[in-house]
Chain A
């Protein structure tokens, strides 16, 4: 799907921004295997596969990318703004970092409602191709300033991701927030994505 999107983008049939998820599928797949649709997920703009994992269809995705009415946001959002509220997917956000406090808000709502569900707020260290050392002061995200407990996970291994998310959900329900840093090896040198919940 993402390779096809890449071709469409190069052919200028997809406009604006198009951030691809290929190479990182283990994250979406592993996460979905560990949680339910009652749990919430919120992420930044690299949301195509997250949306698919939450029950989105290829037709909705490609229609949206190409600005058609049949798209999941009726063509009004584009690549960065996929949502599926009834499956607990809250987007799809273009402003770097915005989804983190929003994710905390989702978690707050779960706690407030006492519904035994959790929120996963995902973010990467990357921003927009900004090299890791330029993007953040401390790249050891899973240490989270020694304030929130953390896990370091191999993000390329779907089973590892599944176990990590299962553990994280149990921990969050029992004791509070937990940070997981999922390391990825991607083709571009100096780039890796870290996800946290």
Chain B
């Protein structure tokens, strides 16, 4: 099943199960979705439940949060999360903080979903990763699926969740196919929020990743295996809450850690994971934590520069080897 179909079927099933669920966003209806994620849903559920909006994120996000205040369950699509910046006040101040500020009265059962992070050749304003922007805010849940199983299970969980969830998809993963079991295809399938998945077990070094980088980490693990290094690959699935238990248990087993993300390095997901491991498992580390992240520059357009600005499989392999063999610290990131 492709990730695209996984998301489409998840939306379809949740809309069928709960009449309070509705979709809103640019091109989600008549155009069948900018990336065809919402294909067929307007025909099936009608214009009262699948709403095409004008190009005004601030407007329709506010409307969605207001509807959620009243008990409806909106799924708001951002054509990419770059455009969510136009609406971030509503995501943070109107949605994320309301439950706390109202001492539990105002639950906001809303999902914000769309492609996040780097695509291909779209330049600086269209390639930003927002994982840490949202994950730093208490009151939000932030999910990042990798496989079709992740996409189905996590989107269903997000829609059923009574709190605001930021659901970070990846444009380049939409067309990828993953095997799915009968259990995943069942309409009651749901994954728990806040639980990471160990994609591949290993004993020499832990590699954490999310979204597209999980695929890269798995490829790196294959290459490392040829050099006798057994890597354990953790698919985070949930950026907030972060599954600190799974990560720390893994590091206590392998004693070495490489964190991988596509976004900018400063204050990134890797920085948070590193802090968590130092706080909870310092005595178990045999090497400094390695962080692989995107380059600390706005995403360049030229193809050769863009390739240099995002992590490649070789960067993950090099970092894992550094974590395994080195005896002196290295200052520069890959």
Among residues of A, the one whose C-beta sits closest to the C-beta of B297 is: A76
Q: Does B122 interact with chain A (Cβ within 8 Å)? A: yes
Q: Is the CB of B123 within 8 A of A78?
A: yes
The contact of A95 among B31, B82, B303, by CB within 8 Å, is: B82
| Residues of B in contact with A, size category | 20 to 34
A177, B272: Cα distance in complex, Å = 49
Among residues of A, the one whose C-beta sits closest to the C-beta of B304 is: A67
Q: Does A56 interact with chain B (Cβ within 8 Å)? A: no
- Which residues of chain B are near A135, meaning CB under 8 Å? 54-55
**A16-B123, A95-B82 known; A130 vs B26 contact (CB < 8 Å):** yes
A137, B54: Cα distance in complex, Å = 7
Q: Does B52 interact with chain A (Cβ within 8 Å)? A: yes
Give the contacts of A13-42 with B (CB-CB under 8 A): 15-17
- Which residues of chain B are near A76, meaning CB under 8 Å? 124, 298, 300-302, 305
Q: Does A77 interact with chain B (Cβ within 8 Å)? A: yes
Among residues of A, the one whose C-beta sits closest to the C-beta of B119 is: A16
Q: Is the CB of B123 within 8 A of A136?
A: no
- Which residues of chain B are near A78, meaning CB under 8 Å? 121-123, 301
Give the contacts of B233-285 with A (CB-CB under 8 A): none
- Which residues of chain A are near B300, meaning CB under 8 Å? 75-76
One digit per residue, 1 when the CB lies within 8 angstroms of any chain A CB and 0 when it does not, for chain B 58-97 equals: 0000000000000000000001001100100000000000
- Which residues of chain A are near B31, meaning CB under 8 Å? 130
A170, B31: Cα distance in complex, Å = 42
Q: Does B12 interact with chain A (Cβ within 8 Å)? A: no
Q: Which of A131, A134, A135, A137 has the most CB of B within 10 A?
A: A134
- Which residues of chain A are near B27, meaning CB under 8 Å? 130, 134
- Which residues of chain B are near A93, meaning CB under 8 Å? 125
| Chain A residue total in the interface (Cβ 8 A) | 27
The contact of B125 among A68, A69, A94, by CB within 8 Å, is: A94
- Which residues of chain A are near B126, meaning CB under 8 Å? 16-17, 94
Q: Which of B82, B83, B86, B121 has the most CB of A within 10 A?
A: B121
One digit per residue, 1 when the CB lies within 8 angstroms of any chain A CB and 0 when it does not, for chain B 99-136 equals: 00000000000000000000111111110000000000
- Which residues of chain B are near A73, meaning CB under 8 Å? 301
A137, B120: Cα distance in complex, Å = 32
Q: Does B315 interact with chain A (Cβ within 8 Å)? A: no
| B79 vs chain A, min Cβ distance (A) | 8
Q: Does A97 interact with chain B (Cβ within 8 Å)? A: yes
Using CB atoms and an 8 Å cutoff, list the residues of chain A in contact with chain B. 15-17, 64, 67-69, 73, 75-78, 80-81, 93-97, 127-128, 130-131, 134-137
Q: Show 20 A/B contacts (Cβ-Cβ < 8 Å), sorted by A.
A: A16-B122, A67-B302, A69-B302, A73-B301, A75-B300, A75-B301, A75-B302, A76-B298, A77-B123, A77-B124, A78-B301, A81-B123, A81-B124, A95-B83, A127-B26, A127-B55, A128-B34, A130-B31, A135-B54, A135-B55
